[in-house]
Structure 1
């Protein structure tokens, strides 16, 4: 991996867009970085090893970028700036004896600037062939960068060893288009430089343009769940989630026998509760419909995304055949494996409804807060931290209430059942909004492995 870190030392960047000098460019385009490296190449004496590194660099794929995508914009009034000193001119045999400052022509110029919250921008290439061959000369070029864009934007730059989580990734269709270097760009810049010696109005060609979009974050849970239907027996509602999931989990462990991994059992080798991501069991109910009644239709078994294939095979084998789940005085329920390829299955058993990308999510079962709210740590902050705990970005807005936004989901007070993980902890329905779309499944809080804190993407229809 190749990672170039660049810090704007003044806390702001003065960069003009290629097609509109009155507008600021942000984030800095990768091609702007390459042009600055070519400039450093000339200042270092145009050495052959630096040229080879630049020719190799221009052939790389489009980089990932980490930058503040919501910077403050500085207003861009026009300034009339005198050009460089000119020699005294003669006009019709007459000499211009005015002061040199009065003879200088003033041209209108703009200095658009952005002020990011984080002045560090990182360009990252995950897969880079022949990196070690060119690392040393490239590092020398990068460390020789003095400014990017206008000379009032001094920078510090270096190669870094650690990778970063990108803010923008190359895409076929994206939110913005950025200029990137491509093969032959070094030669075009050098030839443009020679032409500008005679005519300073000549500009390098636009070059290649690449679409970028924000990456879609995913939780630590796999989006490929194993689903079983609950058929026959007593009719249960979503309020019975906790005791039902406890019964299902106990029956499943009995079907595994003595040989079961930590990712499936949820306990480590000494019998303590696992601190690693493990199997979560969540209810599938008739919700999010005008006719939803909150009745339980099935159960989904969700492994962490890091689970190995053997654990998945073992889980599928334990659930492949229909078996009975005994509920004591209530009777028994048939547990039937649902083939994802089967046609005509209930919509309530489609786990993909809990997976799709969205920037707004709402709880179907209440979130059990894993920290007690305080004045300096309100319930909204506890839920925001719970999102980060499962690998999602911190939400920009969290709402809490006793009633779910999802139709058919019971209120907080209608959920019953006890366990040492959730007893004496506050429970809240929540609606969460992120600054970007994220992938599910989203299960939050202390009860996320036992069916509580299950969220569904909330799609608000456009008017």
Structure 2
């Protein structure tokens, strides 16, 4: 085991978050610790043994952390400070160098002309003289001109204390309950033990980490505090750690910025979660829809707004049923169709299709990035194979259509080669009345956060609707202007949502807040969604947005209500780290 303890000598940690200069970084990112070690090694002319230790440290996995709770947090306002802009001097020096080079080029050309060269060489030298004189004349305006007038350029004058421009700076900081943070590598192995002496020597020389206000001491410890943060794929907090070769990357970066230019610390993002959250997640009740999570990302065609995506999900379901009836049996399995042999809605597990939109971010616009086919976890093997075969038939149909188009253009060899390259691609086309969406199956970890299964399935107590819930029972007076009638309607709506959670094998929520407007950025009000059911007889379901809180974390995907199999009632888990804390100063 390797553990490094960082003591905050002033009891305060000052460092801005990498993605928001106005907010404090907490817990401290392990990459900051590594950068402080490399900076100290370079400034104090560390030896080769310490360099080898730093290279070995960069090969370790991200550490677990013990970071105390925050006792006091300061969200500082903007502080306007003078700028040490060295670009003015560099520009001035560069112009002087260009002027000197042009002058030397002219003198050399004139000297060569005095030697009576041949006709061809003479013409080349005359052109060089003319070009140099034009450059000299131009540079005199920027360099020699202000010297003749006894004035300095405005940018150079701006370096004087009374004329410096000022830029806003932010200095957020926190005071933890205890001024110590432990970085813990439980599986460091014997490699780091070999570097123990070099590590101790370097730790003793580090005096700050992050901002210069954060004075620290670092030391190796055999008795770290119990970790309360650990790397976890479903974590909602991003910390930065390093990759092999980080020391070299920092050296190369410093050669470019020299400590004065803007720079970005090379690092890799790692998802972290509180250890308590990880333990709760292991014990969390699991949704009945938590089987296979098959994602198709949009790769072309129309861009769908969120309200139209639910209609597209119904079109996708009809297409899946159509392809399920090809080649295997005239009777479509109930896991695909959602209906028993007599045509009535089945009570057995069957596939659900939901849109995966861009929501929950400050810049989210609700654009649908793909669709997910959710297979229930209690689905039998026959039903699962029926769904997978239907998807396979749909993908084969796409390839057949493209090959048919290639045969109609036999001279287009490039198209044929492209189709051969696409043999391994698994794509489908979703044809709507006025649009076609091209979808490609995602294999492995999706690039986009909103297309990852963990984004929608991680355990959480708090969940918010992305698409509105189609209530199984009509609450009638839910939006009544009479407060008593609206309260009774709200109780019926909350009871309907509780029953929907029961059907997924989840506990009933301890709190439900209903609204017509979306709780997440990028969502759409219920009035913009098409009615459900659409184009069928019978009463229309009431659509509501909701914010749901359980007494314990539950694991998704969470899709509630009568429209849960065709895109309505999709909820997003909200990690605990993303929720406001009572002690935070939000002003």
Matched with 1:352 is: 454
1:37-85 CA-to-partner distances (Å, cap 9, x unmatched) read xxxxxxxxxxxxxxxxxxxxxxxxxxxxxxxxxxxxxxxxxxxxxxxxx
**In 2 relative to 1, CA 423–335 (structure 1 residues): closer, same or farther, beyond 3 Å?**
farther
Matched with 1:215 is: 283
1:380-419 CA-to-partner distances (Å, cap 9, x unmatched) read 2221222122211111111000112221111111111542
Asked if 1:276 is matched to 2:366, the reply is: no
Matched with 2:475 is: 373
**In 2 relative to 1, CA 243–295 (structure 1 residues): closer, same or farther, beyond 3 Å?**
same
Matched with 2:429 is: 324
Matched with 2:418 is: none
Matched with 1:443 is: 559
- Give me the whole-angstrom Cα distance separating, in 2, the residues matched to 1:309 and 1:229: 26
The DSSP-based 3-state class of the residue aligned with 1:218 is coil
Match of 1:335 among 439, 463, 479: 439
The DSSP-based 3-state class of the residue aligned with 1:435 is strand
- For the Cα contact (< 8 Å) 1:223–1:441, is it kept in 2? no
- For the Cα contact (< 8 Å) 1:367–1:454, is it kept in 2? yes
RMSD across aligned C-alpha pairs, in angstroms?
A: 2.5
Matched with 2:569 is: 453
Matched with 1:300 is: 372
Runs of 4+ in 1 over 6 A off after TM superposition: none
**In 2 relative to 1, CA 426–272 (structure 1 residues): closer, same or farther, beyond 3 Å?**
same
- Give me the whole-angstrom Cα distance separating, in 2, the residues matched to 1:393 and 1:361: 13
Give 1:312 shift. 2.7
- For the Cα contact (< 8 Å) 2:558–2:571, is it kept in 1? yes
Q: Which has the higher helix share?
A: 2
The DSSP-based 3-state class of the residue aligned with 2:502 is helix
**In 2 relative to 1, CA 228–402 (structure 1 residues): closer, same or farther, beyond 3 Å?**
same
**In 2 relative to 1, CA 312–254 (structure 1 residues): closer, same or farther, beyond 3 Å?**
same
Tell me the number of residue pairs that the alignment of Structure 1 and Structure 2 aligns: 251
**Equivalences for residues 18-417 of structure 1 within 5 A:** 215-257=283-325, 258-320=330-392, 321=395, 322-328=427-433, 330-339=434-443, 341-342=444-445, 345-373=447-475, 375=488, 377-417=491-531
- For the Cα contact (< 8 Å) 2:303–2:437, is it kept in 1? no
The DSSP-based 3-state class of the residue aligned with 1:409 is coil
- For the Cα contact (< 8 Å) 1:219–1:392, is it kept in 2? yes
The DSSP-based 3-state class of the residue aligned with 1:254 is helix
The DSSP-based 3-state class of the residue aligned with 1:282 is strand
- Give me the whole-angstrom Cα distance separating, in 2, the residues matched to 1:429 and 1:364: 8
- For the Cα contact (< 8 Å) 1:421–1:446, is it kept in 2? no
Give 1:289 shift. 1.1
Give 1:282 shift. 0.6
- Give me the whole-angstrom Cα distance separating, in 2, the residues matched to 1:438 and 1:274: 26
1:241-274 CA-to-partner distances (Å, cap 9, x unmatched) read 3311111011111111134321221010111111
Matched with 1:75 is: none
The DSSP-based 3-state class of the residue aligned with 2:566 is coil
- For the Cα contact (< 8 Å) 2:284–2:552, is it kept in 1? yes
The DSSP-based 3-state class of the residue aligned with 2:565 is coil
Q: Identify unmatched segments of 5+ residues in structure 2.
A: 1-226, 229-278, 396-426, 477-487
- For the Cα contact (< 8 Å) 2:470–2:568, is it kept in 1? yes
**In 2 relative to 1, CA 421–429 (structure 1 residues): closer, same or farther, beyond 3 Å?**
farther
**In 2 relative to 1, CA 345–422 (structure 1 residues): closer, same or farther, beyond 3 Å?**
farther
**In 2 relative to 1, CA 446–276 (structure 1 residues): closer, same or farther, beyond 3 Å?**
same
**In 2 relative to 1, CA 422–402 (structure 1 residues): closer, same or farther, beyond 3 Å?**
farther
1:146-197 CA-to-partner distances (Å, cap 9, x unmatched) read xxxxxxxxxxxxxxxxxxxxxxxxxxx99xxxxxxxxxxxxxxxxxxxxxxx
